[in-house]
Each structure stands twice: as structure tokens, then as C-alpha cells.
Structure 1
Amino acid sequence: MNTQPAAASGAALVLAQQRGLAADSNSLNQLNQLAGRDSRAAIRETARQFEALFMRELLKSMREATMSTGLMGDEAGGLGSQLLDEQWAVKLTGLPRGLGEMIERQLMQQTQGAQEPASAGPAAAHAPAAAVAARPPFATPSQAQASFVAQHRQAAQQVERESGIPASFMIGKAAHETGWGRSPIRNADGSDSFNLFGIKATPGWRGRVAEITTTEYVNGAPQRMVQRFRAYDNAVDAFRDYARLIGRSPRYAEVMQNLHSPHAFAREVQEAGYATDPRYAAKLERMINATLNVKRALG
């Protein structure tokens, strides 16, 4: 009995695993169990493994669809092709903005969405009530979420028509900053400043100002400090001011080029330096997705 093909297949499996490709379902099951224990590293590895397996099967299908030339058409040639497919699958895995990142985001949303604070922005940092759990995509909206979206939908849609920025993106941003309206920035007399977006009062601002103690990240470390924020007469003015900031400032030019998805929008907002929180983009993306979920539920 010739055992060489079996031995060769075993060698191929070992080589594939050494190159970082989980070539059996048990390995993937183990990674999924780790992800279920809320390990970011395990989630990232699970996503990478799924991407690698997808690439391997894609290459295999492409190879099987081509005509054999007869060269190395024996079992050794088949093993060589298999090893080549494994190598290319690993090389094509982990590319920026690829399938692996999409899978990782989805797994993170499913396993960690209910464990993150809803907001870590300036409006939320000054009050414990802002620690509202962000719900995973497609979860049943809470009463607070539904009320917040219903309250601001008309103003957001009006400003969307004026600016082109999706209403859900703006409401999601406002929800992130205020903890679904539970922790608004207030004036010194306790009245609402209507600053839904955590926009600070820069030296060029000529309107009213609200001062609050908030959390800023300096070199990645959170620090409490007093900051000055803009104050408005109503929510519509706040939406318009936010749209002007994002739509007209050269600093946010890339943001306006990425209105096609919550992920791209949130990423570019963070890249432009809107907030100091190093995880701001991921949190904002979750809140926008939650807002879209609420809008679907409200009809």
C-alpha cells in the first residue's frame, strides 16, 4: 500500500497551519469559543481564519475551473497546487479594508455591542447617566432610543436635504454625545444648551457658551478638565451648525467623501480629529447602526 499521498496531505496540513491557516473545523470552533469569551484577539483571529479559508476555497474553485495542461497532472502536481493555493490564501488575507475587517466588525458588534458604554464623548463624560449600553445591530430599540430618534428625525431630515449628510449619521452622532438624550450639555442655570454634537466653543465662536467638566484623552490617557462648548437656541440650529462644520471645513473634506457607509464616515471623522477618544470611530459606528435600527423599527 502506497502511503506517500496520505503522508503528503498530512504535511500540507501542517504547513498550512504553520503559515497561519486553520485547515479544519475544530480549529475554527476553538476560535469561536474564545471569541464568545469576549477576547478581541480571538475575534480578530477568527475573522482572519474565515477570510483565509474563503480565499483558499476561491482559489481552489478557480483552479478546478481551468483545463489541466497535463504537466504535473499526478498526485505530486495536485499537492503542489494545493500548497500554492494555501500560500496565496495566506498572502491575500489581512489586507486593509478587506473581508477580514468586515467579519471582525460584525463579530465585535455581536459579542461586545451590549457591553460598551453608549457614549464616551464630552456630553456624556460629566454625568453617570450617560453610561447607557449600546445595543447590538437589529436589537429591539429601547424607549429612550425610539424617543430620541423620533424627537430629532424631522430636524435631521431637513438638514440632510440642505447638506447631504445622512440624517441617521447625524442622529447617531447626537445619540453618542448625549447618551440618547439622557446627558445633554447644560448651561450654568441648568437649561439645555441644545449642543447635541459636543462642538466646542473655539475662539471664533460668537454665540453663547456652556462650560462643563468633561473627559479628554491626552496621549491616550483620560483626563478630566473644564471645556467650553457652544450653546444654541434650539436643536435645528445645532444640526445646522454640525453640518456646516463637517460640510464646509477643509479639515473634514474626506468625511464628505465617505457618506456611503457608517464605518467609512466614522473612520474619517476620527481621522480628522473630531474627538480625542482613540476608540471614537468604533463607538460612533455602533451608534449610527443603532439609529438605523430604530428608524427601521419606527417605519
Structure 2
Amino acid sequence: MDVLNTKSQLESARNVHDLSSLNRLREAAYSKDDKALKEAAQQFEAIFVQMMLKSMRKAQDAMADKDSPFNTEEVKFYRDMHDKQLAQDLSSGGGVGLAEIIVQQLGQHDINDYIPASVARNDGNLASLNRQREFRIEQAQQTAELLSDPQSQQAFKTAAFSNPQEFVEQLWPAASKAAEELGIEPRALLAQAAVETGWGQHVIHHGSGNSANNLFGIKANSNWQGESATVNTMEFDGTVARQQRAAFRSYDNLQQGFEDYVQFIRGQERYRPAVENAGDPKTYFKALQDAGYATDPQYADKVMAVYNSDSLRSYLP
């Protein structure tokens, strides 16, 4: 009896002029009947296509001859009926692919099989996107706490080095020591610091003018007990860059900044794949990006571009 009832609902819903069809389709879809869900998805796609056709008709009407016998209200009435049925026929015959996506999204009975819309659009890596999303939420919560903390000093970014050569020469000793502990090349750490600070031209400074010595953009989370500096920073939401204020860790000197970077990377489970591949800079930075170290979708490529550049090589001791 339930099967016959569902079939009756679907047959009735195929008439796009039946105003109660969507409600019946919704009820049929709730029955977890895959056929009902497919029909509901096709109906929704038909509505979407109908809206597109209606928008195109409006644009056409704006330029139409008002005195034309084909521009009467009666003609428009029957034309709209035709468009509605045309939209339904198109969706039933394959349509524009929207129905298929809806079925894929709503037809997952196991929550672990759910595919977010961002993945469906971009063919992204689900595990990576989940980690980045969780990391961004965590950072947002922690930053909100720190922004209300009077100990987090207002800061600004300015040059801490005269030129790239001075940047490399001054950082080489600290980079070499940190690289040995992490099992990575010093050149890789210098490349990352160069990307984070624009070769030392955009280093965080306190309002007093003293450098925060933070060359790796490590933010001050709720577990950070040291000083912090609040400054404008650029974060990416997908491929869209947005400016926001955030609190960053502050160090007494450059060596301390490098040491904290090593502890930060080695002390978090999500960066384990990066640590395990520290001997391969390309894999290392890709693993950092996948784990949510940076929101820039091109972060790993940018670091590797500097790492492989002749400019960096020429500055090395």
C-alpha cells in the first residue's frame, strides 16, 4: 500500500501546474525512497530551469514591440505554461545536472558518506577541507578571546631587514639550528619565512617599535602564555582573500621564534605527515597546507617557488 501511495504521489507531482506537488514530493522523499528522492530532485531542477527561462523572457519582453500581436497577455500566459512544462521535460531527460547533485547530496543515508557542496563544486579533498574548516573555527574562537585580552598589544607590520641578502644572512644561523632539529633544509625554512614576511619587509612590530620576531605567522592561541601582538592579516576563504585582525605570538629574539616554530610543528598531531616528510620540502609544505597551517590555497606552491629560486640560492652562505 505504501508503494502504491508513493507511486501515486510521484505521478501527480509530474504535473508542474499542480501547486501541491512539491509538498507531496517532500513527503515521498522523507520515506527514504530513492525513486521519490530522484523525482523530487528533478522537480526542483525543473523549477530552477523555469526561473532561468522566466528571466530570459523578461529580458526579451523589455525589447519587444508593445503593439505586436505576439506580445499580448494571453500569449504570455500560454508561453509561461509552455516554459513550465518545457523545464519539467528537460529535467526529466537529464537536465543541467542539478538533480544528480541533489540526489548525491541528500541520498547519503550514512553521515560519513555526506559530500559537502564545496567538494561537489570543486572536486576537493574532503579530509583536507574538513581539517582546514575545523582549524579556521578553532582559530576564530581563540582569536576572539585574545582580542579581548588587554595583554594583546596593538601592532603593525614594517621592514625588519634592509634587503633579502641581509634577511638571509641574519637568519641563517637560527634557521640552520632549527632545520637540524626538524630534519629539513635551512633553505626550506628561509623560503617559508620569506613568503610569510615578504623577505622581511612585513614583519610584525609592537606599538613600541620592537619586533615580535615572528617570521612564520604563528598565531597566539589560548594555550600561548607569552606576549602577543594584534595586527591586520590576510586570510583566504576558499579562493577569496579577506583582511581580518588576529593575534600573533611574540618572541624575545629570532632564535626563540625559530625554536617555537619547531615545537609548534612537532607538537601537533595534524602536522605529523609534514614532520615525517621533512626531508622532502615539496611534500612537507603540501602536508602543512593540507593540515590547515595556512588558508592560502597556493601557499605550498609559493614557498616552493622561493625555495627553487635563483635569488635565494645566491644569498645562501
Name the larger-Rg structure.
2
User: What TM-score, normalized to structure 1?
Assistant: 0.50
User: What TM-score, normalized to structure 2?
Assistant: 0.47
